[in-house]
C-alpha cells in the first residue's frame, strides 16, 4: 500500500515538473516579442572610429540613432572604440571585435575600414566617412559594389563642383595650394582629381603634405607663403588640426576652401558641405537591412550623400574681408 501511494505521488510530481518546464518557452517568447527586435535578438555592433572630431562624431551618432530606432532600445549593443588617429590601434580594435564575435563592424574613416578588411572576410563591414572605396581597398574597375563583406557610404562631395566654387569665390587668384596628410590615401585621391579640375579653371596647383600633426604648422606656413588660396580635402588629420592651420592661414591672410564642414568650421572660408549625421544614418539603415533582412553586403552599392550645400564661415570671412555671394548658408558656430 505504501509503495502504491509513493508511486502515485512521484507520478504527480513529475507531471507538475513537466508542466512547469513546458511553460518556460512560452514565457521567453513573450518577453522576446515585446522587446521590439524583429527576431528577438540583441545585436552586437563594433564601431571603430579613427579620431574624434565633429564630422566623424556626427556620422557615428547618425549610425547609432538609425539602428537603435529600427531595432528598438535594448536590442542593439554598441562597442564604440576610438583609435586616436593611429592605424595600428585600428587593427587592434577590429581584431578584438572579431574575437568578440560581433554581428557587424562599422568602420568610421578609411584606416578603420582597411583594418577591418584585414581582420575579417566573414563579418559584415560597413564603412562611413570614406571618400573612395576603390582607393581604400585597392579595387580595380570598381563598379559600386565590392563583391566582399564590405559596403558603406562615401563622404565625397563632387570635386568638380568644389573646384568651381574656388573659381566662383576667387576668380582673380592664380595659385592654389592643396594641403593634406600624406598618410591618408583618400586625400591623395581627392588631390589628384581636383588638381585636374583646378588646372582646367586656369589655376597653377601645388601639393603640400604633412606626415602628422607635428609638422602641420610648418607645412601650412610654406603653403601660405606660395599660394593665394589653399584647398584641404576631407582629411581626418587636418580636421583634428584646424586650430593650428587657422592660426597660420588667418595671420598670413590666405583663405582656405575645405572639403567638408567640420574643417571649414575650424579654418576655412567656404565648403561644399554634406551632412555627416545623415551619412551615418544612411549607414545605419544599411546595417538594419543586413542584420534583420539578410541583405547580402557584397551586393550592396556604396551610397553617397543625397545632397550638398554651399556653406561659409562668417567669422573667418570677416577677418579676411571676403564677401560671399548669395546662395551660401552660414555655418552655425
Which is more confidently placed, 38 or 2?
Answer: 38
Instruction: Note the pLDDT of residue 37.
Output: 57
Q: How many Å apart are CA 24 and CA 18, to the nearest integer?
A: 10
| Average pLDDT of the chain, as a whole number | 89
> C-alpha dihedral over 198, 199, 202, 203, to 10 degrees?
70
Candidate ranges 19-23, 166-170, 302-306; pick with highest mean pLDDT: 166-170
Statement: residue 155 has pLDDT above 80: yes
Statement: residue 18 has pLDDT above 70: no
Q: How many Å apart are CA 310 and CA 75, to the nearest integer?
A: 38
Written as nine digits, the cell of 274 is 554634406
Closest residue by Cα to residue 245 from 232, 233, 234: 232
Statement: residue 100 has pLDDT above 60: yes
Write down the pTM of the prediction. Answer: 0.75
Q: How far is CA 271 from CA 224, 288, 309, in A?
A: 19, 31, 8
| 156 secondary structure, DSSP code | P
Instruction: Note the pLDDT of residue 39.
Output: 60
40-76 pLDDT tens trace: 799 999 999 999 988 899 999 999 999 999 999 999 9
Q: Are strands 309-312 and 270-273 parallel, antiparallel or unpaired?
A: antiparallel
Which is more confidently placed, 72 or 27?
Answer: 72
Closest residue by Cα to residue 257 from 333, 173, 326, 185: 173
User: Which of the four pLDDT bands, split at 50, 70 and 90, describes residue 307?
Assistant: confident
Q: With contact defined as beta carbons under 8 Å apart, do 117 and 125 qualify?
A: yes
Instruction: Note the pLDDT of residue 122.
Output: 97
Instruction: Note the pLDDT of residue 249.
Output: 98
Q: How many Å apart are CA 289 and CA 105, to the nearest integer?
A: 14
- In this predicted structure, which of 20-34, 78-92, 282-296, 312-326 has the lowest mean pLDDT? 20-34
Instruction: Note the pLDDT of residue 333.
Output: 75
3-state secondary structure of 50: coil
Amino acid at each position: 500500500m505504501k509503495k502504491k501511494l509513493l508511486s502515485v505521488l512521484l507520478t504527480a510530481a513529475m507531471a507538475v515538473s513537466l508542466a512547469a518546464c513546458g511553460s518556460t518557452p512560452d514565457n521567453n517568447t513573450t518577453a522576446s516579442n515585446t522587446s521590439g527586435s524583429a527576431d528577438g535578438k540583441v545585436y552586437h555592433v563594433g564601431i571603430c572610429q579613427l579620431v574624434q572630431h565633429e564630422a566623424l562624431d556626427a556620422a557615428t551618432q547618425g549610425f547609432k540613432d538609425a539602428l537603435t530606432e529600427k531595432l528598438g532600445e535594448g536590442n542593439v549593443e554598441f562597442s564604440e572604440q576610438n583609435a586616436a588617429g593611429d592605424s595600428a590601434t585600428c587593427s587592434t580594435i577590429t581584431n578584438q571585435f572579431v574575437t568578440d564575435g560581433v554581428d557587424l563592424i562599422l568602420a568610421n574613416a578609411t584606416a578603420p575600414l582597411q583594418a577591418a578588411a584585414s581582420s575579417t572576410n566573414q563579418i559584415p563591414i560597413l564603412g562611413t566617412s570614406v571618400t573612395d572605396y576603390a582607393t581604400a581597398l585597392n579595387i580595380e574597375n570598381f563598379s559600386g559594389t565590392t563583391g566582399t563583406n564590405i559596403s558603406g557610404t562615401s563622404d565625397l562631395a563632387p570635386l568638380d563642383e568644389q573646384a568651381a566654387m574656388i573659381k566662383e569665390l576667387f576668380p582673380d587668384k592664380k595659385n592654389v595650394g592643396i594641403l593634406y596628410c600624406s598618410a591618408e590615401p583618400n586625400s591623395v585621391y581627392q588631390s589628384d582629381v581636383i588638381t585636374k579640375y583646378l588646372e582646367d579653371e586656369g589655376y597653377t596647383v601645388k601639393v603640400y603634405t604633412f606626415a602628422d600633426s607635428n609638422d602641420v604648422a610648418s607645412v601650412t606656413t610654406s603653403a601660405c607663403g606660395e599660394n593665394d588660396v589653399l584647398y584641404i580635402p576631407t582629411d581626418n588629420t587636418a580636421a583634428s588640426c584646424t586650430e593650428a592651420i587657422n592660426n597660420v592661414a588667418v595671420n598670413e591672410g590666405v583663405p582656405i576652401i575645405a572639403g567638408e564642414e567640420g574643417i571649414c568650421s575650424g579654418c576655412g572660408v567656404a565648403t561644399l558641405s554634406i551632412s555627416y549625421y545623415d551619412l551615418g544614418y544612411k549607414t545605419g539603415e544599411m546595417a538594419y537591412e543586413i542584420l534583420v533582412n539578410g541583405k547580402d553586403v557584397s551586393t550592396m552599392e556604396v551610397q553617397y550623400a543625397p545632397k550638398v550645400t554651399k556653406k561659409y564661415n562668417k567669422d573667418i570671412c570677416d577677418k579676411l574681408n571676403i564677401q560671399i555671394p548669395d546662395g551660401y548658408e552660414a555655418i552655425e558656430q
